[in-house]
Structure 1
Amino acid sequence: MRETCVPTSVKQQDTGFGYTLSLIGGKYKMIILYWLIENKVMRFNELQRSIGNISFKTLSTMLKELENDGLIIREEFPQIPPKVEYSLSERGRSLIPVLNTMCVWGEENSMPTNSVDL
């Protein structure tokens, strides 16, 4: 097993760690992936309501980036009104263990709101 994911002799963006961050970094990408993990398939408005405080433009941009990176699938149905659904691709599903590990770490390391040990 490697000691570090980012060796000192290599730029972070040239490592697996940097690559992963480039795909899921940012304010909303992991949240979008979370909701798609939880719900399997969601429409744009469902995602926007679930996330809460996200603009139409920002969500649209994040979804396009996730689709271009091969993490989600956008399926458009030819009907009126137009119907578009988003789901995780196989590549996106391969991130589930990573996101689950982050969730477990957060649960194990979050500080209770009523007491702070310094």
Structure 2
Amino acid sequence: MVELNTSRLDAVFHALGDATRRHMLRELANGERSVSQLADPFSISLAAASKHIKALESAGLIHREIRGRTHMCRLAPGPLASAHEWLGFYERFWTDRLDVLDQLLRSEDARKPSAINQGDDK
């Protein structure tokens, strides 16, 4: 099984667990944004936006740079790759299990007499 830094993964999944933060990450995928630009679509205060941004920073998902009085944020995709790797293990696990189930159901279907033959007896 894939073993990654659990505290980092906890922070990443916590950050991704909020729709506002996921939307902020999508915005940052298009390029850097200021805190006010990230807050604008939600009609939230800069203080509330800053709390979301701190959660994203704690997870290592974004970097913030202060330029004068403006705080600029940019995406840091590394932790997303780690989360993707962790999820990939479970994707392979379930794909393997579903493939086995598919084979089992197909072999059972092949052993059953056809519905047409059963209907001829009536």
Higher-Rg structure is 2
Query: How many aligned positions are there?
Result: 79
Residue of structure 2 equivalent to 1:65 = 55
Residue of structure 1 equivalent to 2:73 = 86
CA distance in 1: counterparts of 2:47 and 2:74, whole angstroms: 19
Q: CA deviation at 1:18?
A: 6.7
Q: What TM-score results when the alignment is normalised by the length of structure 2?
A: 0.51
Q: Structure 1 or 2: larger helix share? A: 2
Q: Which runs of 5+ in 1 are unaligned?
A: 3-13, 98-118
SS of the residue aligned with 1:76?
A: strand
Closer/same/farther in 2, CA of residues 19 and 87 from structure 1, 3 Å limit: closer
Closer/same/farther in 2, CA of residues 86 and 20 from structure 1, 3 Å limit: closer
Contact 1:44/1:85, CA 8 A, preserved across alignment: yes
Q: Which runs of 5+ in 2 are unaligned?
A: 85-122
**Identical positions, percent:** 21
The CA RMSD over aligned residues, in Å, is: 3.0
Q: Give the structure, 1 or 2, with the largest relative contact order (CA under 8 Å, sep 6 or more).
A: 2
